[in-house]
């Protein structure tokens, strides 16, 4: 089961990087988009101008391969539960890379998720 845990942690790191890339792309798209057409049409017409978006997709793909490795080495119920660690990774990554504020509600919620992971994994 230790290998499954390692693969889940690696997968969640890659997936979190992908989410940060997607958010940066969305922020850029939001500032560049004109009000003339919907953002999805704007994105589709300018898709190659967003290399961070492509980087995010590639890191998510790498994360997916590590997820497959984790699923092959552990029980689905436990691997999926351990994947909830992404909430912690996302909170920290958003704070450090996107300068998002961590307020008390977010912190308490993340701590409750962490406690739930520990309790469920211990059973």
Q: What does the pLDDT read at residue 45?
A: 65
Q: What does the pLDDT read at residue 116?
A: 85
Sign of CA dihedral 8, 74, 109, 116: negative
Cβ pair 27, 104 in contact under 8 A: no
Q: What does the pLDDT read at residue 1?
A: 59
Q: Measure the CA–CA gap between 68 and 75, rounded to whole angstroms.
A: 12
Q: Which residue from 106, 60, 84 is spatially nearest to 8, judged by alpha carbons? A: 84
End-to-end Cα, the chain, rounded Å: 14
The pTM score is 0.82
Burial status of residue 9 (CB atoms within 10 A of its CB: 0-12, 13-18, 19 or more) = middle
Cβ pair 73, 3 in contact under 8 A: yes
Q: What does the pLDDT read at residue 33?
A: 63
Q: Which residue from 79, 86, 74 is spatially nearest to 17, judged by alpha carbons? A: 86
Q: What is the pLDDT along the chain (123 residues), one digit of tens a residue?
A: 588 889 999 999 999 999 999 899 888 777 766 566 666 666 666 677 778 888 898 999 999 999 999 999 988 888 888 888 888 899 999 999 999 999 999 999 988 988 888 887 777
Q: What does the pLDDT read at residue 52?
A: 86
Q: Which residue from 105, 96, 100, 98 is spatially nearest to 52, judged by alpha carbons? A: 98
């Amino acid at each position: 089961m230790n290998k499954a845990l390692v693969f889940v942690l690696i997968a969640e790191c890659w997936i979190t990087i992908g989410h940060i890339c997607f958010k940066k792309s969305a922020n850029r798209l939001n500032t560049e988009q004109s009000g003339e057409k919907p953002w999805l049409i704007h994105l589709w017409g300018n898709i190659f101008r967003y290399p961070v978006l492509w980087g995010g997709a590639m890191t998510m793909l790498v994360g997916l391969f590590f997820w497959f490795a984790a699923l092959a080495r552990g029980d689905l119920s436990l691997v999926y539960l351990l994947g909830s660690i992404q909430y912690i990774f996302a909170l920290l990554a958003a704070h450090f890379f996107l300068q998002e504020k961590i307020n008390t509600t977010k912190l308490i919620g993340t701590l409750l998720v962490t406690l739930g992971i520990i309790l469920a994994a211990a059973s």
